[in-house]
């Protein structure tokens, strides 16, 4: 056995760093799991003590282990980013490195007063013990000696074991359930990294929520196993979806098996779905790189056909209950208004409230209540509500009555248009004031115009807004896009007109004079989109004024520079015409 004295390489107190970094014992222990990941381990075993016992916490892995030199030069270098010296990926499995600050290796000392580390690699066992009491009398951790002892071991043995003794009594004992919740979304579906907490491997059933485990037989595919949970909170958001496993390997990214295409499914609920599907019968339909199933796979379509109803049923059981509770809370606040309505209108209002709750699922209750009150205002006071009631009653009588009711509808429609025109004039006043303010940014003009596209005329309707080229192209192609401009974003893309032309708008702040660089930026977006979209694209660059170097003659076709004030003036003329016609 050989012993050597090493020292911390940091000018700070370890205990202070730890207390500032981790909000709970479980999250501190997760750092030790991250270290095992960075060491290319395939398995990590976490053993937690029963409350009020002297049993230590043990975290063991079968990773690469460390030599004594590696302990000194890397492990004891606290608050140093290991990626600066070893790169972004691990040496063996090429995983993205998780450890960043270097402090995580000692995170266990947040929970315990004593930490022992044993690590095996290349026939050598190295170990040392660190005690918090040793830090008490040391002003600088750099001066704290650490005895690293080494001895021979099985040359095939590798991995690291950390044992935490003397748990801090003032902290709650680490809980296995909470530990799994901290780890599940990051490590629960890793193909070559299994974490065991008190002997149980992480699984979908560890997600706090409604868990479903169902087997099925799919023609042409064979046995399929579906396991998923609908999480109580949105904690699954970053890893939401269901991963496909074929022969134990994960294929591609998590999927929602068509839920994202259903109009009757609240899309905000997707963030709560977490699961996996085992379908070995799809192996012949997996691409060579195992990054997806081949497009138009009939077998995957057969699996989706059986999986989607199961997901919908689970969501309905959970979701309808939440909607009913939300509706009950709001109904208590609006019951007097509903009670004052005629019966036929009250029935309509009740259905409208439910649709509103579904549409804005996940919003704060106070916001939901505001939406509902605005809706009820429209139902109670809008001319349309009264006239539609007359049409409904007339339908039960005769043709003449229906004709008279429809005429009444036309009068109400005209009155509404006049009201709308006047409101739009007020909007244009506010928009012009915004454009004249030198502090107004392009994002603010974009936001003001995006939902009020009537100022551009009736030719174009809203298509896509403020999406990256990557997202726009992926939507068009139905597959992943990683082009050179994938992360750039055109400001606004409007749907095709009667000639099949789209309109791409690039906004600039009102105080900015449109120049040649703005022209190049806008047409570069068009060039990239044109590679993937068959429709012609017209380009409009909008700003406060034109500079002398904006090309007016030598430029591509269907590109124009537009000044905000010209757009506003054109919209005013259109509204003036509408008002003159109505009068």
The per-residue pLDDT for range 519-530, each reduced to its tens digit, is: 998 888 888 878
Q: Which pLDDT does position 505 carry in this prediction?
A: 86
Q: How far is the C-alpha of 116 from the C-alpha of 106, rounded, in Å? A: 10
* Domains defined for the chain, CATH in brackets: 2-197 (3.30.565.10), 203-295 (no CATH), 437-580 (3.40.1350)
- Averaged pLDDT for residues 51-76: 88
Q: How far is the C-alpha of 467 from the C-alpha of 416, rounded, in Å? A: 34
Binning pLDDT at 50, 70 and 90, where does residue 474 land? low
Q: Which residue has the higher pLDDT, 161 or 82?
A: 161
Residues 6+ apart with CB under 8 A from 569: none
pLDDT at 328 over 50: yes
- Averaged pLDDT for residues 251-257: 89
Q: Which pLDDT does position 19 carry in this prediction?
A: 47
Q: Which residue has the higher pLDDT, 11 or 497?
A: 497
Binning pLDDT at 50, 70 and 90, where does residue 193 land? very high
The count of C-alpha atoms lying within 13 angstroms of the C-alpha of 332, restricted to the half-sphere facing its C-beta, is: 6
Which of 123-137, 143-157, 403-417, 482-496 bottoms out in mean pLDDT, i.e. has the lowest? 403-417
The per-residue pLDDT for range 196-241, each reduced to its tens digit, is: 999 999 999 898 888 999 999 999 999 999 999 988 765 656 678 9
Q: DSSP letter at 50?
A: P
Helical ranges in 220-364 per DSSP H: 298-339, 343-359
How many residues belong to the chain? Answer: 583
Q: Which pLDDT does position 11 carry in this prediction?
A: 35
Q: Which pLDDT does position 278 carry in this prediction?
A: 95
Binning pLDDT at 50, 70 and 90, where does residue 10 land? very low
Q: Which pLDDT does position 58 carry in this prediction?
A: 96
Instruction: Name the E strands within 142-257.
Output: 145-152, 159-167, 194-197, 200-201, 209-218, 222-231, 241-246, 249-255
Judge whether 289 and 296 are in contact, CB under 8 Å.
no
Tokens at 324, concatenated: 């009913």
Q: What is the layout of strands, in order, in the sheet containing 273-278?
A: 209-218, 222-231, 273-278, 241-246, 249-255
Q: Which residue has the higher pLDDT, 255 or 329?
A: 255
Q: Which pLDDT does position 73 carry in this prediction?
A: 78
The per-residue pLDDT for range 270-323, each reduced to its tens digit, is: 888 999 999 999 999 999 888 889 878 999 999 999 999 999 888 888 777 766
User: 275-296: buried (b, 16+ CB within 10 Å) or exposed (e) per residue?
Assistant: bbbbbebbeebbeeeeebbeee
Q: Which pLDDT does position 468 carry in this prediction?
A: 56
User: Cβ of 466: how many Cβ atoms within 10 Å?
Assistant: 15
Find which of 51-55, 225-229, 556-560 is predicted with most confidence, using mean pLDDT.
225-229
Q: DSSP letter at 177?
A: H
pLDDT at 546 over 80: yes
Model confidence, pTM:
0.55
Binning pLDDT at 50, 70 and 90, where does residue 414 land? low
Binning pLDDT at 50, 70 and 90, where does residue 12 land? very low
Q: Which pLDDT does position 371 carry in this prediction?
A: 72
Distance of CA 554 to the CA centre of its chain: 43
Binning pLDDT at 50, 70 and 90, where does residue 8 land? very low
Q: Which pLDDT does position 13 carry in this prediction?
A: 47
User: Cβ of 13: how many Cβ atoms within 10 Å?
Assistant: 15
Q: Which pLDDT does position 126 carry in this prediction?
A: 95
Q: What is the mean pLDDT of the chain?
A: 78
Find which of 110-124, 350-364, 472-486 is predicted with most confidence, using mean pLDDT.
110-124
Q: Which pLDDT does position 356 carry in this prediction?
A: 74
Q: How far is the C-alpha of 579 from the C-alpha of 414, rounded, in Å? A: 10
Binning pLDDT at 50, 70 and 90, where does residue 150 land? very high
Binning pLDDT at 50, 70 and 90, where does residue 413 land? low
């Amino acid at each position: 056995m050989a012993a050597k004295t090493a020292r911390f390489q940091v000018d700070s107190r370890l205990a202070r760093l730890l207390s500032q970094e981790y909000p709970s014992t479980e999250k501190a222990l997760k750092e030790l799991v991250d270290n095992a990941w960075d060491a290319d381990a395939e398995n990590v075993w976490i053993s937690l003590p029963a409350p009020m016992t002297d049993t230590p916490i043990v975290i063991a892995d079968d990773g690469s282990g460390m030599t004594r030199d590696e302990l000194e030069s890397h492990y004891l270098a606290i608050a140093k980013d290991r990626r600066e010296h070893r790169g972004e990926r691990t040496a063996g499995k090429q995983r993205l490195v998780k450890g960043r600050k270097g402090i995580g290796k000692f995170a266990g000392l947040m929970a315990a007063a004593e930490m022992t580390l044993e690590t095996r690699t290349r026939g050598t066992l190295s170990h040392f013990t660190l005690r918090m009491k040793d830090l008490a009398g040391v002003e600088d951790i750099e001066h704290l000696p650490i005895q690293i002892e080494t001895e021979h071991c099985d040359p095939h043995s590798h991995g690291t074991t950390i044992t935490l003794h003397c748990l801090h009594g003032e902290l709650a004992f680490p809980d296995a359930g909470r530990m799994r919740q901290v780890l599940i979304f990051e490590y629960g579906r890793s193909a070559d990294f299994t974490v065991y907490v008190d002997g149980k491997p992480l699984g979908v059933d560890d997600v706090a929520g409604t868990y479903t485990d169902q087997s099925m037989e799919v023609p042409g595919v064979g046995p399929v196993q579906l396991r998923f949970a609908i999480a109580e909170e949105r904690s699954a958001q970053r890893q939401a979806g269901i991963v496909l496993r074929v022969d134990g390997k994960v294929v591609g990214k998590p999927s929602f098996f068509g839920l994202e295409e259903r109009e009757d499914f609240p899309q905000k609920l997707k963030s709560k779905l977490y699961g996996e599907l085992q379908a070995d019968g799809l192996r012949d339909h997996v691409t060579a790189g195992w990054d997806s199933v081949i497009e138009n796979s009939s077998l995957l379509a057969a699996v989706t056909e059986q999986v989607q109803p199961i997901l919908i049923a689970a969501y309905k059981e959970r979701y309808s209950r939440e909607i009913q509770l939300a509706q009950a809370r709001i109904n208590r606040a609006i019951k007097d208004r509903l009670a004052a309505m005629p019966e036929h209108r009250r029935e309509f209002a009740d259905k409208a409230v439910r649709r509103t709750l579904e549409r804005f699922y996940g919003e704060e209750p106070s916001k939901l209540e505001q939406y509902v009150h605005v809706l009820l205002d429209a139902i109670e006071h809008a001319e349309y509500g009264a006239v539609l009631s007359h049409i409904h009653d007339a339908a039960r009588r005769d043709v003449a009555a229906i004709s008279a009711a429809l005429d009444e509808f036309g009068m109400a429609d005209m009155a509404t248009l006049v009201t709308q025109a006047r409101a739009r004039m007020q909007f244009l006043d506010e928009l012009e004031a915004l454009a004249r303010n030198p502090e107004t940014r392009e994002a603010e003009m974009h936001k003001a115009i995006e939902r009020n596209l009537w100022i551009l005329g009736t030719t174009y309707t809203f298509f896509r807004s403020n999406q990256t080229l990557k997202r726009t192209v992926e939507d068009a192609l139905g597959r992943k896009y990683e082009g050179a401009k994938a992360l750039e974003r055109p400001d606004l893309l409007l749907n095709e007109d009667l000639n099949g032309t789209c309109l791409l708008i690039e906004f600039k702040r009102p105080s900015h004079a449109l120049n040649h660089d703005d022209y190049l930026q806008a047409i570069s977006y068009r060039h990239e989109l044109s590679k993937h979209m068959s429709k012609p694209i017209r380009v409009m660059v909008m700003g406060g004024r034109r500079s002398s170097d904006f090309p007016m003659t030598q430029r591509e076709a269907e590109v124009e520079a537009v000044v905000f004030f010209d757009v506003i003036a054109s919209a005013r003329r259109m509204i003036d015409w509408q008002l003159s016609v109505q009068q």
